[in-house]
Structure 1
Amino acid sequence: MGGNRTKVNIGKAAIFDLDGTLLDSMGVWKEIDQRFFARRHIPMPDDYASAVASMQTGAIARYTIDRFHLDERSEDLIEEWNQDALLLYATAVQPKPHALDYLRALRASGAALAVATSLPPRLRQAALKHAGMVDCFDQVCSVDDAESIGKEEPEIYLLASRMLGVAPDHCTVFEDLLVAVDSAKRAGMKVWAMYDQSSAKDWDSIRSKADGAITDFAQAPAIL
């Protein structure tokens, strides 16, 4: 894999975000957002992506309708986004550097692995398949499964730990968003932050809250 790993015990389980953490998907969502606003002849605000980054899809649809005074239904917006996203996740999204190697190394070490994502099932399955990660995880869950408003709250991480059968204090979470890092810490878990351009403005705060920070999975903690 390359790089010198920090000698840190990740515990018995690792829980991974997808967008911006395992997957370099910033360009995918930028393209989806650009298509959406272009169809409506609305200039795309610079702060839109960061404003919705931690929300689940239903909340994003309601926020978008309210903010831009759209006479549309939430379910229609969601279906439009899903159709664009399904094509791009199945054909274009790529893993972050050395992500697949790291997942395989963790599995070989005996660690339990889970995904905790805001992506709906068909998008995450398409993404995992295209990225070659389908067989890497013991469990996959979403904010919808946790009946959570999003990653502003720790429920999704606690659900993932229950699904894995591993106590929160033996779990390490990998995330790229500030609110997600904070929530995972409140769940009682260790957190390693992955740099993503979409949250670059928060990087200093993210690093100060996380137990460690990386820009490449070659820098991720060693398996002990």
Structure 2
Amino acid sequence: MRTLNDLTGFIFDLDGTLLDSLWVWSEVDEVFLSRRGLPLLPDYAQSIAHLGFADAARYTIDRFGLAETPEQLMQEWYDLARAAYRDRVPLKPHAEEFLHKLCAQGVHISAATSSEPELVLPCLDRLGITGLFDNITTIHEVNCDKSSPDIYLLAAERMQTAPNQCAVFEDILRGIQSAKSAGFYTVAVEEPASALDQTEIELTADRYIRSFAELL
């Protein structure tokens, strides 16, 4: 049975996994919907969590019957979130220590994110961790969401590491399921926004952690 100590590649989701950033999207959703007199429904955030910006915009337009384009929604979301990522989003506790531990071991590290590079890169730069990653792979490069393992496969390919030699760290069920289906070792990172799926996440992932402190 594989363990983290057997692996040579580590792929991290950003929002909700390395970054404590999902509060930003709760604020964005609340402001965006309230501007249109719409309620923030309990399942909305979870319904778009695995989607890239464009797919989330299309889903939102269809769900709420909005007479706007995906591009208009994406720009509004970006404008609402940009300052928070640039100035306020922190790492999850002990995430930086774990990344430095991996670097000291000489393994490969990648990020695989559904977020816009223009949002997350200034955040990673401010936090001083951009240089720890071999690559930062985004949904836009594979043209599918995280219900497909393509983003993880591309990140692994860029590290020249086979999936069975890589761990994927994720906070959402669909990402964990798709990564596992492609042969990755999966580590679920506890995130309150995924609480509705927690039981299935724990059953699906190869390992479940409540904090990166468990891996130090």
TM over 0.5: yes
- 1:117 and 2:113 correspond: yes
Q: Is the Cα–Cα contact under 8 Å of residues 170 and 176 in structure 2 kept in the other structure? A: yes
Q: Which amino acid in structure 1 is aligned with residue 143 of structure 2?
A: E
Give the Cα separation in 1 of the matches to 2:6 and 2:54.
33
- TM-score w.r.t. the length of structure 1 is 0.92
- The whole-number CA distance in structure 2 between the counterparts of 1:201 and 1:32 is 21
Q: CA RMSD in A?
A: 1.2
> 2-side partners of 1:67 and 1:34: how far apart?
16
Amino acid at match of 2:184: M
Cα shift at 1:182: 0.5
Separation in 1 of the partners of 2:170 and 2:164? 16
Aligned length: 214
Q: Where does residue 4 of structure 1 map in the other structure?
A: none
Query: Gaps spanning 5+ residues in structure 2: where?
Result: none
Tell me the amino acid that sits aligned with residue 130 of structure 1.
R
The CA distance in 1 between the partners of 2:202 and 2:128, in whole Å, is 29
| Counterpart position of 1:141 | 137
1:169-184 pair list within 5 angstroms: 169-184=164-179
C-alpha distance in 2 between matches for 1:86 and 1:123: 6
Alpha-carbon distance change, 214 to 10 in structure 1, aligned in 2, over 3 angstroms: farther
Aligned ranges 1:72-221 → 2 under 5 Å: 72-148=68-144, 150-220=145-215
Mapped pair 1:67 → 2:58: no
Greater RCO, 1 or 2 (C-alpha within 8 Å, sep 6+): 1
- Runs (4+) of structure 1 exceeding 6 A deviation are none
Q: Distance in 1 between matches of 2:122 and 2:43?
A: 27
User: Matches of 2:23 and 2:132 in 1, distance apart?
Assistant: 24
Unaligned stretches of 5+ residues in structure 1: 1-6
Following the alignment from structure 1 to structure 2, what is the Cα–Cα distance between the partners of residues 133 and 177?
A: 23
Aligned partner of 2:31 among 27, 35, 39: 35
Distance 1:48 1:188 in 2: 30
Q: Residue 3 of structure 1 corresponds to which residue in structure 2?
A: none
Deviation digits for residues 16-62 of structure 1, max 9, x if unmatched? Answer: 00011001112111011111012112121111101111011111111
Contact between 1:100 and 1:132, CA under 8 Å: does it hold in 2? no
> Which residue identity does 2:164 align to in structure 1?
D
Question: Distance between the aligned counterparts of 1:36 and 1:194, measured in 2?
Answer: 28
The structure richer in helix per residue is 2
Q: Per the alignment, do residues 151 and 164 of structure 1 end up closer, same or farther by CA in structure 2, a change over 3 Å counting?
A: same
Q: Scaled by the length of structure 2, what TM-score is found? A: 0.96
What residue identity is the alignment partner of 2:10?
Answer: A
CA contact (8 A) 2:156 2:166 kept: yes
For 2:149, the aligned partner's letter is P
Identity of paired residues, percent? 41
Q: How big is the shift at 1:10?
A: 4.9
Deviations 1:161-181 (A, max 9, x none): 101111111001100001100
2:157 partner amino acid: R
Conserved in 1, the CA contact under 8 Å of 2:4 and 2:167?
A: no
